[in-house]
């Protein structure tokens, strides 16, 4: 495996994508900590706050597949420029919110802007990352997203304490606009067009392919359906954590805002380690076994099982430190699935990787709509902050089983003269 060089053209692209993932999650989860400010100012219930959290996910869900198709059709550069401008404006508008309705409207616009970001990034990686490093690339970019999760609680608390909750959104929006400008100046759609590219880099990158034909949505959707369901199971836990962990420590253990932010950041930092390690492990398994089934499906199944087991003690304890360790372990193992999961669309359908990854991510987006609201309702109805995690454990158990049905080793190759079975997405193994 080639060594990672920070000065190479491919690594510059990867660093820019890492920064994007960091910013998008900073802009998504800042609302979880800021809820302590706007929830009190606007007198919102936990159910209403949960709806503010989940409003982001409605357009985010709709634009996963659309955004994936747009990035496959028009390229990752233009797609991310438009998306970045939209999510930056949405973040700024959140700071101008005057109540529940305007908060929801700003979050809807944020979901619209970020809907195509990860599919577009995956489309870029399909050209800029060698097959043997796909797990690492997906792991390190999502680790950057979790750094955004980990930084957000403490950073937003500092800004809120000095200025106010609104100013935290103004700062995040400005950072987003800077990234859009730098992306425009540094990224090229095809590696051969980059001014810093070398022949040695081009040799290890995927060979240029003719423009993909019309996307076969129906057979591709059927092929990706098991992957999408598994990602829904993962996404349920992800969005429960991102939305409610800061509030969990704040209210369940009656901590002050600063201490609750420290505990929340510790949990999210475990996700950083999980994402990074998961990407490295899936690539190492593939390198040693040359088996995508072992490197992707088996690894996801095992990690989901370990995440489930990590959360079980929450039902039997009310100790803040033990809870933090259980949540950290659960988040660590669930995040270890990210590297293999996001490599799967590139393994299955490299010609349609943007669309395929968008289909997969609709699972997480659907979970993002339901999970935060249902958690808020359960907290309001039963007064239990542990009860929402029961759903996470149940869905993790489903994911353990279904992960073995994803079949990343079966390439989706749809050709005009392909047989009916190939049209259904059951082509021969690569």
Confidence of residue 415 (pLDDT cuts 50, 70, 90): low
CATH code of residue 116: 1.20.1250.20
Q: What is the rounded average pLDDT for all residues in the chain?
A: 87
pLDDT tens figures, 352-373: 888 898 899 899 989 988 998 8
Cα separation, 85 vs 177, whole angstroms: 6
**What is the four-CA torsion angle of 415, 70, 206, 234, rounded to 10 degrees?**
-100
- Asked whether 160 and 168 are in contact (CB, 8 A), the reply is yes
pLDDT tens figures, 221-267: 999 999 999 999 999 999 899 888 888 998 889 888 788 888 988 99
Q: Examine residue 56 and state whether it is found in any structural domain, yes or no.
A: yes
Percent residues over pLDDT 70 in the chain:
93
- Asked whether 354 and 69 are in contact (CB, 8 A), the reply is yes
pLDDT tens figures, 269-291: 998 899 889 989 999 999 999 99
Domains of the chain: total: 1
Which pLDDT score, from 0 to 100, does residue 297 have? 96
Q: Examine residue 210 and state whether it is found in any structural domain, yes or no.
A: no
Across residues 408-423, what is the average pLDDT? 58
Q: Examine residue 2 and state whether it is found in any structural domain, yes or no.
A: no
Q: pTM for this one?
A: 0.76
Q: Examine residue 279 and state whether it is found in any structural domain, yes or no.
A: yes
Residue 420 confidence (pLDDT) above 50: no
Confidence of residue 170 (pLDDT cuts 50, 70, 90): very high
Q: Residue 185: how many CB atoms within 10 A of its CB? A: 7
Q: How far apart, in Å, are the Cα atoms of 81 and each of 5, 74, 187, 281?
A: 26, 12, 11, 32
Confidence of residue 430 (pLDDT cuts 50, 70, 90): very low
Which pLDDT score, from 0 to 100, does residue 228 have? 97
Q: Examine residue 266 and state whether it is found in any structural domain, yes or no.
A: yes
Residue 126 confidence (pLDDT) above 80: yes
Q: Examine residue 179 and state whether it is found in any structural domain, yes or no.
A: yes
Q: Examine residue 4 and state whether it is found in any structural domain, yes or no.
A: no
Q: Which residues contact 79 (CB under 8 A, 6 or more apart)?
A: 67, 70, 71, 116, 120
Domain that holds residue 280: 9-205+215-423
Q: Which residues contact 283 (CB under 8 A, 6 or more apart)?
A: 1, 132, 133, 134, 135, 136, 295, 339
Cα separation, 279 vs 338, whole angstroms: 7
pLDDT tens figures, 131-147: 778 888 888 888 898 88
């Amino acid at each position: 495996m080639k060594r990672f060089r920070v000065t190479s053209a491919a690594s510059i692209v990867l660093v820019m994508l890492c920064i994007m993932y960091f910013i998008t999650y900073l802009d998504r989860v800042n609302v979880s900590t800021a809820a302590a400010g706007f929830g009190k100012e606007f007198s919102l219930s936990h159910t209403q706050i949960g709806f503010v959290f989940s409003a982001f996910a409605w357009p985010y869900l709709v634009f996963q597949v659309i955004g994936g198709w747009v990035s496959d059709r028009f390229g990752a550069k233009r797609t991310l420029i438009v998306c970045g401008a939209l999510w930056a404006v949405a973040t700024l508008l959140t700071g101008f919110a005057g109540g529940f309705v305007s908060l929801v409207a700003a979050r809807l616009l944020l979901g619209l802007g970020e809907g195509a970001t990860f599919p577009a990034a995956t489309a870029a990686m399909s050209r800029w990352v060698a097959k043997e490093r796909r797990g690492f690339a997906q792991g390190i970019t999502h680790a950057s997203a979790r750094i955004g999760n980990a930084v957000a609680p403490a950073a937003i608390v500092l800004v809120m304490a000095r200025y106010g909750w609104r100013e935290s959104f103004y700062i995040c929006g400005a950072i987003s606009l800077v990234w859009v400008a730098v992306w425009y100046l540094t990224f090229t759609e095809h590696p051969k067009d980059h001014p810093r590219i070398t022949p040695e880099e081009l040799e290890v990158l995927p060979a240029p392919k003719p423009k993909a034909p019309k996307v076969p949505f129906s057979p591709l959707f059927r092929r990706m359906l098991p992957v999408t369901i598994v990602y829904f199971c993962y996404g349920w836990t992800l969005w429960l954590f991102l939305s409610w962990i800061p509030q969990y420590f704040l209210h369940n253990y009656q901590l002050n805002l600063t201490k609750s932010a420290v505990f929340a950041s510790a949990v999210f930092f475990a996700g950083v380690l999980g994402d990074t390690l998961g990407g490295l492990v899936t690539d190492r398994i593939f390198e040693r076994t040359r088996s995508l089934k072992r490197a992707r499906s088996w690894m996801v199944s095992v990690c989901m099982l370990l995440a489930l087991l990590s959360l079980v003690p929450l039902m039997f304890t009310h100790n803040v430190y033990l809870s933090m360790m259980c949540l950290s372990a659960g988040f660590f193992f669930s995040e270890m699935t990210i590297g293999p999961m996001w490599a799967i669309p590139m393994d299955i359908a490299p010609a349609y990787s943007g669309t395929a990854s968008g289909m997969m991510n609709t699972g997480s987006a659907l979970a993002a709509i339901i999970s935060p609201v249902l958690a808020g309702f359960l907290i309001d109805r039963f007064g239990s902050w542990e009860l929402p995690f029961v759903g996470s454990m149940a869905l993790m158990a489903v994911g353990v089983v279904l992960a073995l049905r994803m079949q990343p080793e079966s390439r989706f190759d749809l050709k005009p003269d392909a047989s009916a079975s190939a049209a259904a997405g059951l082509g021969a193994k690569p």
